[in-house]
Structure 1
Amino acid sequence: MSKYLVNKFLYTVDRDPDLVERYKTDPAGTVAWWETEKANELLNCVAAERSTYQRFTDEERAALVDQDHVRLFEMGAHPFLTLTLFIAMFEHDHEPLGYVKAYAAKMSHISLPYPDIAT
């Protein structure tokens, strides 16, 4: 898994309210667009500076499209990045702290040692 690329997706989408809404309503389209248009831009650089070609694996793409934070974490995505993005997308659909509790409940089967989240 390219933890860097998945974490970069989570990070950049979370920081743009329009992308958050787009990812919530059209995850497949957003993931495909981001992979094509944004994946190879360097973070915090001008768009003209691009890295070599990077792309998601089929497993990464599926987990992102499914918005499956448990599978993403099990593959090594940083839990704070999934939590903050998914709170932005789903918290308003739940009672106060409801989404955070649901997020934690879905992760309750995971025990130490946690997957390596280093990039």
Structure 2
Amino acid sequence: MSRYLLNKFLYTVDRDPGLVERYRDDPEGTVAWWEAEQAGRILNCHDGESSTWLAFDDTERAALAGHDYPKLFELGAHPFLTLTLFIAMFERDHEPMGFQTEYAQRLAHVAMPYPDIAT
């Protein structure tokens, strides 16, 4: 498991409106494409720098492909990153503050101490 890679996915997708829409409409395809094409890119570096060892495990891949933000939180994804990305994708489908309320309700079962979010 790689909390770093989960957070990197959430961070990079959230910052690109086209990727946000792609992930909303085709989560499985977007996760597969991102893992194959983007996971090895080093953040904030030129295109020549990359790594070959990063990959999601099956649990991470399924949680991302299923838009399962409670599972992502349990896996250690940073809650701010999941919240901002999923607001961008799903807030439009709810009343004002409706998605934020749903997010809180779906994570209400998580008690302190919260899962470790350190990378």
TM-score range, shorter chain: over 0.9
After superposition, residues 62-101 of structure 1 pair within 5 angstroms as: 62-101=62-101
**Alignment partners' CA distance in 2, 1:53 and 1:16:** 24
48-57 or 31-40: bigger deviation:
48-57
2:3 — aligned with what? 3
**Alignment partners' CA distance in 1, 2:107 and 2:26:** 24
1:41 — aligned with what? 41
- Structure 1 runs of 4+ with >2 Å offset: none
State the identity %.
66
Task: Give the match's secondary structure for 2:85.
Answer: helix
1:54 — aligned with what? 54
**Alignment partners' CA distance in 1, 2:115 and 2:84:** 19
**Alignment partners' CA distance in 2, 1:55 and 1:75:** 15
Letter in 2 for 1:114: Y
- In the TM superposition, residue 52 of structure 1 has moved relative to its aligned partner by 3.0
Letter in 2 for 1:84: T
- In the TM superposition, residue 47 of structure 1 has moved relative to its aligned partner by 1.7
Letter in 2 for 1:26: D
2:24 — aligned with what? 24
- In the TM superposition, residue 110 of structure 1 has moved relative to its aligned partner by 0.6
**Alignment partners' CA distance in 2, 1:46 and 1:26:** 28
Letter in 2 for 1:39: A
Letter in 1 for 2:11: Y
CA RMSD of aligned residues (A): 0.6
How many pairs align? 119
Letter in 1 for 2:70: V
**Alignment partners' CA distance in 2, 1:26 and 1:101:** 24
